[in-house]
Amino acid sequence: MSVLLGKNAVLEALKSQMQINKVSFSKSINRKDVAEIIALCEEKKIPYTWVEKEKLDQLGKAHQGVAGFASPIDYVSLDSLLQHEGLLVMLDGITDPHNLGAILRSAHAFGAVGIVLPKRRSATLDEVSFKASAGAAAHLPIARVSNLRDAVDACKDRGFWVYGADLQGKSFLPQVEFDKKAVIIIGSEDKGIGDLLKKNCDVLYKIPMGDFDSLNASVAAGISFYQYFIQHR
């Protein structure tokens, strides 16, 4: 069972199709602050309890007086994501759950239709990444694949163009014209996109910067997604 901590994380999970089994509130919380959560619990007939704050503290310090207990996330198939026309996000080597959550938040904000994660060398969707996503993870279908190179080939077979964010990219991001059916690959901050995966990209681009030579992966992702968004909104 997954534990969701924080008002916004629990609220967004309740608004989504995620199966929430129970919600616990701190007895010391102001009920007006969680009125919408309580209303959704009652509407969906989800049981909720009032517990001592110390009990929630045992789950994590960022609970804000609210914890939700959800069934494990159901990942989707890559093929189901390829039924859509739009932006797919592929992550290579993003192992920090906070970074994963922040990327999911930006992806949802700028209209991505799905996320592709590798089964190895990747953070997974847990309570940390879910909270960092501000609940966006509840609304984005996520596929986990054994091999990203095979996933790229499958995307190309279905008419997607593949774009990689890379410090050595030949194009600057503002010059890139994204196809409507686009895959944007974001690599880790230390190693970037893997060499073999990089060779399979149709376009490698870099983000123009001043004197600094790199960005946090989630920041680079957000800038990239926004560029796609303003071209296809």
Confidence of residue 1 (pLDDT cuts 50, 70, 90): low
The type of residue at 52 is E
Q: Output the six-digit token pair for 140.
A: 């984005």
Q: Which of 143, 63, 71, 132 is nearest to 96 (CA)?
A: 132
What is the dihedral sign for C-alpha 91, 95, 217, 226?
Answer: positive
Report the b/e string of 165-179 with b at 16+ CB within 10 A.
bbeebeeebeebebb
**4 has pLDDT over 80:** yes
**17 has pLDDT over 80:** no
Q: Output the six-digit token pair for 161.
A: 């163009």
What is the mean predicted confidence (pLDDT) over 115-131?
85
For the chain, domains (ranges, CATH) are 2-70 (3.30.1330.30), 78-232 (3.40.1280.10)
C-alpha of 17 from chain center: 16
Q: What is the pLDDT of residues 182-217, one digit of tens each?
A: 999 999 888 889 999 999 999 999 998 877 667 889
Confidence of residue 131 (pLDDT cuts 50, 70, 90): confident
What is the mean predicted confidence (pLDDT) over 162-188?
94
Q: Are 22 and 49 in contact (CB under 8 A)?
A: yes
Q: Which of 88, 195, 197 is nearest to 143 (CA)?
A: 88
Interatomic CA distance for residues 194 and 215, integer angstroms: 17
User: What pLDDT does residue 5 have?
Assistant: 87
What is the mean predicted confidence (pLDDT) over 119-135?
81
